Structure formats: C-alpha cells, structure tokens
Amino acid sequence: MSASHEKPVFKNGMVRWVDDRLPVVTVMYNAIGPGHPTPKNLSYWWNFGSLAGLMLGLQIITGIVLAMHYNPSAAEAFNSVEHIMRDVNFGWFLRYAHANGASMFFIVVYIHIFRGLYYGSYKSPRELLWMLGVVILLCMMATAFMGYVLPWGQMSFWGAKVITGLFGAIPLVGEPLQIWLLGGFAPDNASLNRFFSLHFLLPFVIAAVIILHIWALHIPGSSNPTGVEVKSESDTVPFHPYYTAKDGFGLGVFLILYCLMLFFLPNALGHPDNYIPANPMSTPAHIVPEWYFWPFYAILRAFTADFFFIPAKLMGVLAMFSAILVWFFLPWLDNSPVRSGNYRPLFRKFFWFGLLPCVLVLGYCGGAPAEEPFVMISQIATAYYFLHFLVILPIVSSVEKPEPLPYSITESVLGSDDKATLASGN
C-alpha cells in the first residue's frame, strides 16, 4: 500500500528497454505513479494543482488551433474572430472553450493559492515552491491580458491602452517605455502583432516554470491539512491509484462547471463591448478588465490623490504590483512554526473574516464603476489588504498560541498512532 523508493521493475520488455536507456517511464512512475508517496489525508482542496495543469494544457491546445485561423492585424483581427465563430468547423467551440478556459484557469489557480495561504504551504521547506507559483501567476496574468487584446474589440483596445498607460506613470523613462512597448503612441498594428507573438510564447514559459514548481514539490512532497510532515510510510499512500482516482473525480466535477459556462453561458463572463470592433475615436463608458483582474484593478484605482511629488497613478501602479509581490515574502512574514490554519485559532479568524472578505470586496469594487462609494470602499480594503500581510500576519504569528498538533498524519486520521505511543515513552 505504501509507496517505495526503489527503482520500479516493469513487466513489459519494450518498456524496460526504453527505460534502461532513457528513464522517462521511471520519472513518470515516481512523479504521478505508484512511486510517489503522498500524504493520505489530502482533502479536495488539494485537487486544484492538477486541475491547473490540465487547464494550461487545454488552453495550449485550443489556442494553437485558434492561431491557425486568427489574423493578428488591426484591420482583420476582429473579422478573423468572427470567421472562426461562423465558418471554421467547431470554431465557436474552440473560441468559447479558450475564452472561458482562461476564466476557469484563474478560478482554479486562485483556489489553489488560497489553499496554500490557509494551510501555510509557503513555509519552510517549500518557500521556493511557493515563489515559483507566484511567478506562474504573474506569467498567467501577462498572458491573459495580451490574449484579451487579440479579438481587437472595444475592451481589447481600451484595456490595452489603460494597462500600457500604467507604464507611463514610471518617472523619467515612463513615456518612452510606453511607446516602446506599444510600438507607437497608441495600441495599433505593431502592438497587436507583438502581443500575439508573446501570447503564444508565454504559455510555454509557464509550462517550464511548472516543471520547476513540480520538481520543487517532489523534494519535500505535498503538505497536508494537518501541516505535520510525513513521519513514516504509514502516513502515505502511493499517488496512483489513490490520488489519480480522487483527481479523476474532481476533474469530472470541474469539467461539468466549465462546460456549463462554455455551452450555456459562453458570454456571461465577457464584456458586451468586446463585440464592438476597436474604435480609437470612441471611449467606452466604463473600461473594465476581465473579472480575474478586478481585485488588483480596485487597488490600482484606490489611489486618487498625489502624495507630495508622487503622482497618484504611480502609487496605484506600485500598490497593484506590490499586492502580488508581497506574496514572495510571505514565508518570512509569517513566523509561526505551525503550518496549517486548522491549528491556528487567531490566524484562522483573520483569514476567513479578514483576508477573504477583503479580497472579495476588492473584486467587487474593481468591476464597479469608478465612483463613490466604491472608491472609498476600495481604499479601505486596499489598506486592510496590506495591513493583513505586513502587520497582522507577523503579529499574529508571534502572539498566537496554536492548538495541539497531532503526532502524525496517521494519528490525525485514525485517532491514534502506535509510533506516537512509543515515542511518548508509554
């Protein structure tokens, strides 16, 4: 039942022949097969890593086929998307799968991150694993932003204009930098072409970082809901078939949700303005990014007044990027020796009643028009967001008295562990 670390012996002669020369089969066996010992108490919150990997794969496949029919020129981009929707066999499927796939990818990754935040997955010895995850998120955001520009609708154009305009806020080099990024004074053919090129490239960069992410994961192995590290073989089960089965079930449920969006509400998460061709002469009433950027957009817009010589826009930009960059320092901001929020009464309260509602409120404000009361609410929530990571978390982790931890995963599952009794000397 428990996984062993010995080199597997394959029955099939052909497989053995290949594996002796290039041990790809052994690598797979040890990565996601019976050779990967996994804590036996992982909950469904641990399903989202494999789902994220799957979504990247689906996005790459649908994306590559879409790219065969898409035309990245300012004059023809919008038409070529309609050509895909109307004339390409199952083109509507590819495009809706890709557009909604981006949303599903972000849902999955955000849940994956919140799982990590709650269960302290960023703590030693998994700091690099966590930081690589943050790098993946940043790459995903860049990819999604450029992807949204490609249909060259009104929101594509104006979103590109607003976001590249942020670089203009950087002192001295800002304006030349913005022109260099766009290849002109405003988004146009040159911008569209380079965004297409980078949108095609970045997913493969993400795939490479994911390999490092999984590599780093396999050094200590998965954390688990107790946060207590694996102590003996009885704490683990082989990844296959236990977690392949559990992930398979999770996959089915997830695909049901995804397909509900794709087939029955394909435009619910998009903005109607993006069905209007880009028009540099007419500004939409409200320029809003896709929903997955809303919390960060709210932080950006929360800065409305200049501070001495620092313009509001620059502070907004810095705050927006810091909102994610602060996660790089999380392993050192949270000093508690206890990993899992399940055994941290104070941390838990601030997590469920502080951070989570704060992010949801920011998300709501980011999608709302930039008027009162949303601006003020965003300002309060932004302040709280940084307060949580920079002040509350360090204080909580030093004053909190954690609840008693189980001796081992086995004890937490079965209520007792023979080795625990031995260790305590009875």
3-state secondary structure of 307: strand
246 is catalytic: yes
Between CA 36 and CA 84 the distance in angstroms is 43
How many beta carbons lie within 10 A of that of residue 10, not counting itself? 16
Least distance in angstroms from the C-beta of 374 to other proteins:
11
Least distance in angstroms from the C-beta of 258 to other proteins:
9
Least distance in angstroms from the C-beta of 424 to other proteins:
25
Residue closer to other proteins (CB basis): 130 or 292: 292
Single out the catalytic residue among 246, 271, 313, 388. Answer: 246
Residue closer to other proteins (CB basis): 315 or 355: 355
Between CA 234 and CA 226 the distance in angstroms is 15
Least distance in angstroms from the C-beta of 194 to other proteins:
27
Find the angle CA(366)-CA(108)-CA(164) to the nearest 5 degrees.
40
Least distance in angstroms from the C-beta of 397 to other proteins:
19
Binding-site ranges for other proteins (CB under 8 A): 1, 40, 82, 85-86, 92-93, 96, 237, 241-242, 245-246, 248-249, 251-253, 255-256, 259-260, 262-269, 272-273, 275-276, 285, 291, 294, 348, 352-353, 356-357, 360-361, 363-364, 367-368
349 is catalytic: no
Between CA 289 and CA 141 the distance in angstroms is 11
Single out the catalytic residue among 7, 76, 197, 218. Answer: 218
Question: Closest Cα to residue 366, out of 301, 315, 272?
Answer: 301
Residue closer to other proteins (CB basis): 213 or 240: 240
Question: Closest Cα to residue 212, out of 135, 140, 132?
Answer: 132
Residue closer to other proteins (CB basis): 300 or 368: 368
3-state secondary structure of 311: coil
Residues in the chain, how many? Answer: 426
Residue closer to other proteins (CB basis): 204 or 263: 263
231 is catalytic: no
Q: Which residues contact 2 (CB under 8 A, 6 or more apart)?
A: 37, 233, 234, 236, 237, 238
Single out the catalytic residue among 19, 235, 290, 417. Answer: 290
Single out the catalytic residue among 80, 121, 222, 397. Answer: 222
40 is catalytic: no
In a 10 Å sphere around its CB, with 0-12 CB exposed, 13-18 middle and 19+ buried, how is residue 152 labelled? buried
127 is catalytic: no
Residue closer to other proteins (CB basis): 252 or 373: 252
> And the tokens for 15?
């497989």
Least distance in angstroms from the C-beta of 382 to other proteins:
17
Radius of gyration of the chain (CA): 24
Which positions are annotated as active-site residues? 218, 222, 246-247, 290
